[in-house]
Amino acid sequence: MANVSKITRLTAQKKAILGCVRDFWPIHPSSQMVYQMVKKNVPSISLGTVYRNLNSLRENGYIEEIVIHNEPSRYDSHVDAHLHFKCNDCGELYDIDNTSLLKSHTKRLRDQGFIVQRSSIVFQGLCQKCYKKSDHITRSECAAHGKIEPHVHHNNSSCKICGFQEECSYHPNK
């Protein structure tokens, strides 16, 4: 985690973006999801401004960026040391609090001469819900957006699974 005391100023836009990331918790939103939500309260905000402010909040230790290969970055307001688990079926990203695992790895690395300043570990596989499902294609609940009603109209710019407008980082096109 970066040193929070180094931040120059928490502007109104940064406060709105930080509040949005915190409001999503335990969901880990993409920058697009943050932009869509913040734009409702700050209509003049641009996507570029959201990107710059997310980066500034990350650099100053207010949020964590989670990078998963070939997917949009996700953001986490839980900045204490923890792990993540990403379900390859539903796309949900879970916080895994296991400080003993982190401490043992950090100690091993220190014993080998390394000083760990930050770590980012994402396990991937199937969550309990998806593992127990017999039909992995039918989804009645979206990890990011809650229950999906069968009558939800999906337009061309919405996620085909949950109807979230624009990009839904929880349901990448397969």
pLDDT at 118 > cutoff 90:
no
pTM of the model: 0.67
CA–CA distance, 170 with 74 (Å, rounded to integer): 10
Q: How far is CA 38 from CA 44, 84, 107, in A?
A: 10, 25, 41
* Per-residue model confidence (pLDDT) at position 98: 82
* Per-residue model confidence (pLDDT) at position 83: 87
Say if 74 falls within a structural domain: yes
DSSP label at 4? G
Same domain, 20 and 56: yes
**Structural domain of 162:** 139-174
CATH of residue 104's domain is 3.30.1490.190
Q: Does residue 144 contact residue 33 with C-beta atoms inside 8 Å? A: yes
pLDDT at 97 > cutoff 60:
yes
85: confidence class by pLDDT, cuts 50, 70, 90: very high
* Per-residue model confidence (pLDDT) at position 150: 40
Say if 134 falls within a structural domain: no
Same domain, 72 and 88: no
